[in-house]
Structure 1
Amino acid sequence: MSTRLDGKTALVTGATSNIGRAIAEAFAAEGAHVVVSGRSAGRGKEVVDGIRARGGRADFVQAALDGSAAASQALAREATRVLGGRIDVLVNNAGIYPGGVTAATDEKTFDQVYAVNVKAPFFLTAAVAPAMAEAGRGAIINLGSWIARLGVPVGALYSSTKGAVETLTRAWAAEFGPQGVRVNAISPGVVLTPTPGEIHPGEVMMNGTPAGRMGTPDAIAHAAVYLAAEESAFVHGAVLDVDGGRTGVAVIAG
């Protein structure tokens, strides 16, 4: 087992599947004590049991981050307790993605997506970052998205929430950075756990990129480990594109 995060504690939201699960597993493999948070106790137990079976430290804290300050504050309190009194790394990963176009989006959906994707991490960071600042250290990692900066004709609501998250990343870096808290974001491309023999519709969105394929959750987890570890001590307010070149590069066939 590697030790890049040895002795650190971490809270990962939305950690019972896909990217969040991969990040929690990678943190634990690097020596961190991880709180796996999510809505499903069954899936949470599966993740925690897997981490422990590999010699890592993990606990599950159930939370439905609905955007209310109370829900975020309750998660922060319980995770802090479970982790022995401090959170060194916070990963704001939990989010929802409703497809659809603007005219088909109703107000209830609009409010729900902003509540989960923006309000919840806002109030969770508000609950966690001051203790980090008081200790003079900590890392906060937000999950953005490639469609926050490259417009596509569907998903305007979701992409706008991820644009907000990227803006919050820079604002929080300015607010908490001078107290030793590093705040950065990861902007994934199309990332899904591969299913053998199945072609996912998202694959077409990675056509014309250098990678030429969808990414896997492990790729995002590796980036998260870097941003949580001491190697990134001089990195503040950055948005790290881990998107196969989707936002920055176009491959033109000759």
Structure 2
Amino acid sequence: MASYRTNRVTGATSNIGRAIAEAFAAEGAHVAVSGRSPERGREVVEGIRARGGLADVLVNNAGIYPGDTTAATDEKTFDEVYAVNVKAPFFLTAAVAPAMVDAGGGTIINLGSWIARLGIPVGALYSSTKGAMETLTRAWAAEFGPHGVRVNAISPGVVQTAAPGEVHPAEVMMKGTPAGRMGTPEAVADAAVYLAGDESSFVHGIVLDVDGGRTAAAVIAG
């Protein structure tokens, strides 16, 4: 396992982003978290403050999901979603990747989504942004890889945390899959730690599905 000097995780104050930040901290990283909630941000920072370590990592995780149909999506929403989900990580990467090259290398991990490749009746706008991020992953791997910066992506499946004793409404989308259940933020975080570490040093430009087999296997309704 590599030791990590600096890790920046966008959208790190809840769910997947928070789990990724905490997982890197557990590996001995100094983690910079960002998100829209100062209160949640302070809570995350307090939980990982005592951990630290060496090598640069950027995780482009922040995203918003309006969940509307195409006809119900107005231009303002369209611009807002693309600004957060595509424009922000594009220009953050444009700023960070050259600095990584100058520092001797680094790792960039983008977050895609299973609905970028498997259509559902709502959320076309969001899925298109995640498709863009998966395309950028391959392009950035070609652009920055020869200069020591590895770029890969994770495509999470249905990842939600149900309240104790309750069944989350999204659980139904995982029926008939190989896993047969929703995923956890920690499962995605484990994949991020792998893609940032020495164990994946020969891995460039991939989209790693962490989705319980949702996109790889035929779903058999039960």
On whether the aligned pair clears a TM of 0.5, the verdict is yes
Q: Name which of 92, 104, 108 aligns with 2:76.
A: 108
CA distance in 1, matches of 2:91, 2:194: 25
CA deviations 1:124-181 (Å, max 9, x no partner) are: 0001000111223100000000000001111100000000000000000000000010
Q: Distance in 2 between matches of 1:191 and 1:140?
A: 21
The partner residue of 1:125 within 93, 98, 114 is 93
- Out of 9, 12, 32, the position equivalent to 1:12 is 9
Cα contact 2:57–2:107 (8 A) shared by 1: yes
Residue 32 of structure 2: aligned partner: 35
CA shift digits 1:190-231 (9 cap, x unpaired): 101231122222111111210111100000000000001111
| Structure 1 contact 16–38 (Cα < 8 Å) conserved | yes
Where in structure 2 are the equivalents of 1:40-119 lying within 5 Å? Answer: 40-52=37-49, 55-57=50-52, 88-119=56-87
* Alignment counterpart, residue 143 of structure 1, candidates 104, 108, 111: 111
Q: What is the letter of the counterpart of residue 182 of structure 1?
A: R
Q: How many residues align?
A: 222
In structure 1, the residue matched to 2:190 is 222
* Structure 1 residues 251 and 150, CA gap change in structure 2 (3 angstroms): closer
Q: Displacement of 1:42 after TM fit? A: 1.2
Per chain length, whose mean CA-contact separation is higher, i.e. which structure has more relative contact order (CA < 8 Å, sep 6+)? 2
Unaligned runs of 5+ in 2: none
One-letter amino acid of the structure 2 residue matched with residue 198 of structure 1: E
Superposed counterparts of 1:187-226, under 5 Å: 187-226=155-194
Give the CA deviation at 1:5.
4.2
Structure 1: gaps (5+ residues): 59-85
Q: Do 2:13 and 2:41's aligned partners in 1 also have CA atoms closer than 8 Å?
A: yes
Could you list the runs of 4 or more consecutive aligned residues of structure 1 that deviate by over 4 angstroms after TM superposition?
Answer: none
Looking at structure 1, the residues matched to 201 and 11 of structure 2 have their Cα atoms a distance apart, in angstroms, of 25
| Distance in 1 separating the partners of 2:198 and 2:18 | 22
Give the aligned partner of residue 61 of structure 1.
none
Query: Shift of residue 8 of structure 1?
Result: 2.4
Alignment RMSD (CA, Å): 1.7
TM-superposed CA distance for 1:251, in Å, is: 4.5
- Counterpart of 1:157 in structure 2 is 125
Stretch deviating more after TM superposition (237-246 or 196-205): 196-205
3-state SS of paired residue (2:205): coil
Distance 1:185 1:17 in 2: 19
Q: Identity across aligned pairs (percent)?
A: 81
SS in 2 for 1:185: strand
| Aligned partner of residue 16 in structure 1, secondary structure | coil
Matches of 2:64 and 2:30, distance apart in 1? 26
In the alignment, the residues of structure 2 paired with residue 87 and residue 100 of structure 1 have an alpha-carbon distance, to the nearest angstrom, of 39
The alignment's TM-score, normalised by the length of structure 1, stands at: 0.84
| Residue pair 2:4, 2:55 contacting (<8 A) in 1 also | no
1:21 & 1:192 partners in 2: Cα distance? 13
SS at match of 1:170: helix
